[in-house]
Amino acid sequence: MAEMIHPPMDQLQDLEYCIDSNPPWAETILLAFQNYIQMLGTSVMIPSLLVPAMGGSDGDKARVIQTLLFVAGINTLLQALFGTRLPAILGGSYAYVIPIAYIINDSSLQRISDRHERFVQTMRAIQGALIVASSIQIILGYSQVWGLFSRFFSPLGMAPVVALVGLGLFQRGFPLLGNCVEIGLPMLLLVIGVSQYLKHVRPIRDVPIFERFPVLISVAIIWIYSLILTASGAYRDKPNDTQHNCRTDRANLISSAPWFKFPYPLQWGPPTFSAGHSFAMMSAVLVSMVESTGAYKAASRLAIATPPPAYVLSRGIGWQGIGILLDGLFGTCTGSTVSVENVGLLGLSRVGSRRVVQLSAGFMIFFSTLGKFGAVFASIPFPIFAALYCVQFGLVASVGLSFLQFTNMNCMRNLIITGLSLFLGISIPQFFNEYWNPTHRGLVHTNAGWFNAFLNTIFSSPATVGLIIAVFLDNTLEVEKSKKDRGMPWWVKFRTFRGDNRNEEFYTLPFNLNRFFPPT
């Protein structure tokens, strides 16, 4: 048999900076700003979707975006320092849209005639639900229960889950890019050209600017192009949807944002609590936990680190629960999860440095308090971000599939598990999404609204459906005699903190805190 040309490798080899190595300070600052620009898409899109439905004005929307960015900065910093310590940015999550829509359509809130008062009361209800639901991740994380459950994971089980974290967001890619194809398509072609075909071109000394900063370069060029189209009147007589997606001045963020505003806890008033709202929100917390687990696995690979051991994974989920608690206290209108697009950016820029993400958190906090300046960047048309998502979500999906190199893919058992998990992980959520819209209850429509929201949320998440199918099949079909085929000889050393010597280098807490919180 011919010698293998590409043997399985623990770590990716063509990345420039790993988790604990740092670029020069000038590059670090620009890379951090690039991460900040990247996460603006979701941070603007979610409030733009939810705040008007809550009865909020453009001013309310700008304030929610500021709050979301501010808390995202805090949560990212906490996660990078004390959580998994991976270079992962935490931001708003679409997983919370269904339970939040259920709260928005609550009859007691819909009866409020004054729009601003309805917005405030709805925000308080969302805050209360987030505060209660955050206990799920806090308990499962700090009790190590999620870490114990992760012992059922294997390379075979994780490959489709991580892949679906990226593939499951396909509707955020080209379908949204197509809303303004004259901006989105050039952006897609440009970011591919800059990051792949020009990556070896170095016009400034030895700095690979096209390889390091493809997002900054591409966004700047296409944003200027879209400004020219807007100023020249190219969209003057176009339909409202086209103007909303293409123009740079339709979001009303700059005019409605204050010059300076410091978000603070309970700024909307005291939260209100409802058992139904809280149970519905718990489904989104569970989904965000699964999706974040897959994103952490991808981030570890793109940061040239070992897969996070069970103890580190649980620690990260615990801190993410605290992040959701902060979301509830500040009123961000959604909960937190790992930003998949920023995980993809690690691979696109070939930099997995933790310091870059920590500094990026500083940009989030800084620009969230300076409302007008932050609103300028937040006014970038969304099709520009959708073009970036096409590349970055696809990259995260391929990182997930790379775990299959540690398994035997000449085994029919593994082929069935992988194929079924991927296919149903896309097909089932698509089926549920076809029946759901903000004003209807979705495919599950009993008389209990919270139950409808719970099940519709769980089964609308590709990664969650994929996890259920992959982990169940992988742990029930010919388990004992398939250990090698599943990749367990390689995976088992990463189950515990001391299973691999590199874990201490990557995941030890700062300030010598491991003395007080010894890893297991």
Q: Are the C-beta atoms of 420 and 469 separated by less than 8 Å? A: yes
520 residues of the chain, pLDDT tens digit each:
456 567 777 777 778 898 988 999 999 999 999 999 999 889 989 998 899 999 988 888 888 999 999 999 999 999 999 999 999 999 999 999 999 999 999 889 989 889 999 999 999 999 999 999 999 999 999 999 998 998 899 999 999 999 999 999 998 889 999 988 999 999 999 999 999 999 888 887 778 899 999 999 999 999 999 989 888 888 888 888 887 888 877 666 666 767 788 888 999 999 999 999 999 999 999 999 999 999 999 999 999 988 999 999 999 999 999 999 999 999 999 999 999 999 999 999 999 999 999 999 999 999 888 877 777 777 788 999 999 999 999 999 999 999 999 999 999 999 999 999 999 999 999 999 888 776 666 787 788 888 888 999 999 999 999 999 999 999 999 888 888 889 888 888 888 877 777 878 888 888 777 776 666 6
The DSSP result for 313-328, as a single string, is HHHHHHHHHHHHHHHH
Q: Are the C-beta atoms of 23 and 350 separated by less than 8 Å? A: no
For residue 519, give the nearest of 498, 501, 500, 505 by alpha carbon.
498
Cβ neighbours, 10 Å, residue 253: 25
Q: Are the C-beta atoms of 432 and 460 separated by less than 8 Å? A: yes
Q: At what angle do helices 275-302 and 340-349 cross, to 10 degrees?
A: 10
For residue 86, give the nearest of 283, 297, 243, 260 by alpha carbon.
297
**Which tokens in the block code for residue 277?**
């709202």
**Which tokens in the block code for residue 415?**
């082929």
Amino acid sitting at position 200: H
Express each pLDDT in 398-416 by its tens digit: 999 999 999 999 999 999 9
Express each pLDDT in 43-54 by its tens digit: 989 998 899 999
For residue 245, give the nearest of 44, 43, 37, 36 by alpha carbon.
44
Q: Are the C-beta atoms of 155 and 483 separated by less than 8 Å? A: no
Residues 6+ apart with CB under 8 A from 197: none
Q: In the block, which residue shows the tokens 């629960």?
A: 321
Q: Are the C-beta atoms of 90 and 79 separated by less than 8 Å? A: yes
| Calpha distance 128→150 (Å, rounded) | 29
Q: What pTM did the predictor assign?
A: 0.93
Cβ neighbours, 10 Å, residue 249: 14
Helix (H) or strand (E) segment spanning residue 190: helix 181-192
Query: How far are the Cα atoms of 100, 266, 332, 364 from residue 326, in angstroms, in the given order?
Result: 17, 10, 9, 15
Report the SS3 class of residue 498: helix
Query: How far are the Cα atoms of 75, 123, 151, 347, 447 from residue 375, in angstroms, in the given order?
Result: 21, 22, 44, 28, 42
Q: DSSP H helical segments within 105-173, as ranges? A: 107-110, 115-142, 145-149, 155-167
The DSSP secondary-structure symbol of 102 reads: H
The DSSP secondary-structure symbol of 419 reads: H
The pLDDT of residue 498 is 75
Strand partners, 336: 92
Residues 6+ apart with CB under 8 A from 443: 431, 432, 435, 436, 456, 459
Domain ranges of the chain: 25-496
